[in-house]
Structure 1
């Protein structure tokens, strides 16, 4: 009776009982019978089998060890408190990972690399590369990155039904992020971008953000006279100039006039960059629609891939990019510097050969294959 009373006293502080970790029901019944535990308490008691093959009777917050005949108070409450920080960090990690998938894409790295290289073209001598240069570069990159997050977000928010067909793995299309959360996050990124640019007071940066915001909004928003992605011509008009502006022209002007305080002169390298990258951006905007034909047809978007078919658009893109490499080789050959002439001609000749070789192994009518080739274009750009 004393043993039973103590057991009932301990069980009054208990949490839900633990499950049986090892041992059979027959072993448990035999153990309870030898311990003379009343049947009405058996449902509250569970067994644990340790490595010495002895058993513990666990009734929530109390433990009785058969081999030692002593009671122990389980640290269930403390374990729960210890698991809370782990659960918090795990939830935070999941949220950050989902947001990363929502805003990050393959183009971000390419855009940042283009911004850095175009900014370096504004340097006239080694003394221009100073802490002031890197601070000015960050003042451009951070607002542009937030505006890029806006562009990615508004595209997913307005293309929710299309993404359920073409890209069901995206957080918004898969339901990992609610529609309301996506809208709030997207608007917040645009406000943050303009706010940082206003604090910077850089005219090239401000004009770049305004034009980029207008182009992306007109391209995505489904309002009268907008939703330019329905037309291939309007898609090219809204995207190619904005991509050239944000990745090449604006960072060059920002570093030249705002950071280095020098007169605006477009040297041969920046003209060469703009010419070649125009072909790249044109190919990207045409090629990106090939893997998305199914969803675009369902949404009624008359892209060039829908109208002409994937094969024609694919080989049109291949021809355009080979033409760009040809222009690069010609401009490199006319360079007054021998090292520039040698490097430019050799590098672009190799890239043209690799690109054409890879293109011949692609079947554009297979979605995964055309998507892989689309990613290969970005690898060549970086």
Structure 2
């Protein structure tokens, strides 16, 4: 995890708070906070009171969760591959890849289905989704540069490693490559998955009138649920079922279960991702559930949802007509124990 920072006294703004950060980080955070206060005349005293309450606890806790930005441009931390790695938000890439692989396996009915066409089809889906994933996370960073200077100062756009122009070039290129690959593959399920994801995630992030849906907690959660739980599960299953295998578009029980389970899981993603970002979200007016309800309450809501989802999964597995499915589902937790470190 990222190192903790030490809190000292210093910056005075009707009450003073100051975080001992490296010089470049401290300057960016203070400037973004000042510009926000100056640009919002309404509710000025409320914002000052909020900053006063944050003095040490709020800002320190937010920044302490983040990886400090290395100001040395010659550092390996600032290499191009490392910057792109952080820009791509690898945990989202891994999650998307595993989701596509798992739902693709639901279309497999017999051992002979593990053919060359199957692996090519899965590879095409993963690459197209990877390109779209870079567009989505990149657009989100372009729209949240000032917020990320507080919440995630290690990201390339927030740290200044990437310019805004570089970010725009990257997201435009990857969006084009995603649609290009989806078109030449010729799979309509893939193409529509990319197109709908593009529309929803653009509306979620981009800061123009009537959009930037991430400002509204319920709408933001519905966007994430629609993409992660419904589009990914159904579209990429249909890609293998109809395009690769040429079978009818049927939705068996496992696909319905996967969609339902991932609906719970996607809500947890939508809630959990905002827990460490409460400080920046408060400053810039993002009304996430964490801002509304508090970090502790949202955390335990997420735990409850995961318990419900896994409890239902155990019941579904235990009621399966397949003997091997019942045994593996019931004892699957033991497979996770060696992974806990």
Provide TM-score, normalisation by structure 1.
0.66
Q: Which residue of 2 aligns with 1:198?
A: 183
Deviations 1:10-42 (A, max 9, x none): xxxxxxxxxxxxxxxxxxxxxxxxxxxxxxxxx
Q: Which residue of 1 aligns with 2:150?
A: 165
Aligned counterparts, 1:143-154, within 5 A: 143-154=128-139
- The partner residue of 1:215 within 174, 190, 200 is 200
Q: Which has the higher contact order (CA 8 A, sep 6+)?
A: 2
- The partner residue of 1:283 within 254, 268, 276 is 268
Deviations 1:193-227 (A, max 9, x none): 11111111111011101100001000001111101
- The partner residue of 1:102 within 79, 87, 94 is 87
- Pair 136,350 (structure 1): closer, same or farther in 2 beyond 3 Å: closer
Q: Which residue of 1 aligns with 2:123?
A: 138
Is contact 2:230-2:263 (8 Å) kept?
A: no
Q: Which residue of 2 aligns with 1:116?
A: 101
CA distance in 1, matches of 2:150, 2:89: 20
CA shift for structure 1 position 99: 1.6
CA distance in 1, matches of 2:231, 2:163: 30
Provide the secondary structure at the position in 2 that maps to 1:186.
helix
What is the Cα-based RMSD across aligned positions, in Å? 2.0
- The partner residue of 2:251 within 266, 269, 276 is 266
Is contact 2:228-2:262 (8 Å) kept?
A: no
Provide the secondary structure at the position in 1 that maps to 2:162.
coil
Deviations 1:307-329 (A, max 9, x none): 11111111111111100111111
Q: Which residue of 1 aligns with 2:295?
A: 310
What is the aligned length?
264
Is contact 1:256-1:263 (8 Å) kept?
A: yes
Q: Which residue of 1 aligns with 2:209?
A: 224
Q: Which residue of 2 aligns with 1:357?
A: none
CA distance in 2, matches of 1:191, 1:342: 45
Aligned counterparts, 1:20-35, within 5 A: none
CA distance in 2, matches of 1:298, 1:139: 41
Which stretch shows the higher mean deviation, 317-326 or 103-112? 103-112
Q: Which residue of 2 aligns with 1:76?
A: none
Is contact 1:166-1:292 (8 Å) kept?
A: yes
Larger radius of gyration: 1
Name stretches of at least 5 consecutive residues in structure 2 with no aligned partner: 1-74
Is contact 2:241-2:247 (8 Å) kept?
A: yes
Q: Which residue of 2 aligns with 1:178?
A: 163
Name stretches of at least 5 consecutive residues in structure 1 with no aligned partner: 1-89, 355-378
- The partner residue of 2:306 within 311, 321, 324 is 321
CA distance in 2, matches of 1:240, 1:197: 22
CA shift for structure 1 position 105: 2.2
Is contact 2:132-2:175 (8 Å) kept?
A: yes
Provide TM-score, normalisation by structure 2.
0.74
CA shift for structure 1 position 131: 0.9
Provide the secondary structure at the position in 2 that maps to 1:137.
helix
CA shift for structure 1 position 170: 0.7
CA distance in 1, matches of 2:141, 2:114: 39
Is contact 1:208-1:245 (8 Å) kept?
A: no
Provide the secondary structure at the position in 2 that maps to 1:215.
helix
CA shift for structure 1 position 350: 8.6
Aligned counterparts, 1:296-375, within 5 A: 296-347=281-332
Q: Which residue of 2 aligns with 1:235?
A: 220
CA shift for structure 1 position 348: 5.0
CA shift for structure 1 position 96: 2.5
